[in-house]
Amino acid sequence: MKKVSLLFSGGIDSSLAVIELAKDFDEIHLLTMDRCSFVMKDRVKVNLENFRKATGRKIIHKMVPMHKIIKKLHKNLFGDMMKYMSPFVIDQCCRVAMATSAILYNKMHGIKITADGDSIEQSDEKRTDEGGAVREQSSWTYGFEQSRAYKKHIADLYDEYGMELISPVYDAGTRDIRMKKLNDKGIITGSRRLSRFAAFFSSCQPFCVYQLYGSPLLKLDLFTLTPDQMIKYLDSKKNTAREHITGRKIS
């Protein structure tokens, strides 16, 4: 039986990833990372039965607690914020925590592949429409987090433990195309207009209270990190992740 884990938020991209993964895997483990800042967590379960009906696959959903690894990564958080002059080091901690938690889950369940719902639509890479014309890049300032250059640094951590990180919907078309694919399969996507701007309005995603101040700052391009700073900080946290995974201190 071919198994895969998926970093699952319940949003458009990770939901479409379920549909795509079902083409190649028999058992899909949906891992919703339980962050300290999450509220309205039950919304992520809205489509579980719909996924099973649409794919005919074994769908397993788990809320994976990240509190312990987050606490370790945040050990010198205020100092890190001052050093980088940005609150967005929190995002990098979150990315490392998700990878760490997925790796531990995979080790426990004999899984070698993890998928994410990352999308070129939300990256800072250039995109083309169906006619081949270059389209406007993502307006999301933090599009670099979903770029291939950044994702390689996350994938390298999985690789250390004999695992692979894949992105099955990275080039799956525009948001409207993705929503149509899901709707055609009977998957609830909520309001396009509202859920596009905040998970608070989504019927399918938990809401992270961090967005209350994080999103406005990003829109205003205030206190953001450069790509080089993001990668430097991300890599600086990998030893903490390794220690958490192995249970051994790294000198």
Total-model pTM: 0.87
Nearest Cα to 226, choosing from 150, 151, 153? 150
CA distances from 99 to 7, 30, 70, 102, 157 (A): 9, 14, 12, 5, 8
What's the confidence (pLDDT) of residue 102?
98
| Contact residues for 153 (Cβ-Cβ < 8 A; gap 6+) | 231, 234, 235
pLDDT over 70, % of the chain:
76
Residues composing the chain:
251
Q: Which domains does the chain have, with CATH numbers?
A: 3-246 (3.40.50.620)
| Contact residues for 80 (Cβ-Cβ < 8 A; gap 6+) | 89, 233
Q: What is the pLDDT of residues 205-227, one digit of tens each?
A: 766 665 655 555 555 556 778 88
What's the confidence (pLDDT) of residue 126?
52
pLDDT over 90, % of the chain:
56
Burial of 14 from C-beta contacts in 10 A (0-12 / 13-18 / 19+): buried
What's the confidence (pLDDT) of residue 224?
79
pLDDT tier at 187, thresholds 50, 70, 90: very high
What's the confidence (pLDDT) of residue 251?
63
Q: Mean pLDDT throughout 32-59?
A: 85
Burial of 190 from C-beta contacts in 10 A (0-12 / 13-18 / 19+): buried
What's the confidence (pLDDT) of residue 225?
83
Nearest Cα to 190, choosing from 20, 40, 85? 40
* Tokens at 12, concatenated: 């458009």
Q: What is the pLDDT of residues 81-132, one digit of tens each?
A: 999 988 889 889 999 999 999 999 999 999 999 999 998 877 656 554 444 4
What's the confidence (pLDDT) of residue 195?
45
Q: Is the pLDDT of residue 34 over 60?
A: yes
* Tokens at 124, concatenated: 């800072």
Q: What is the pLDDT of residues 145-160, one digit of tens each?
A: 888 889 999 999 999 9
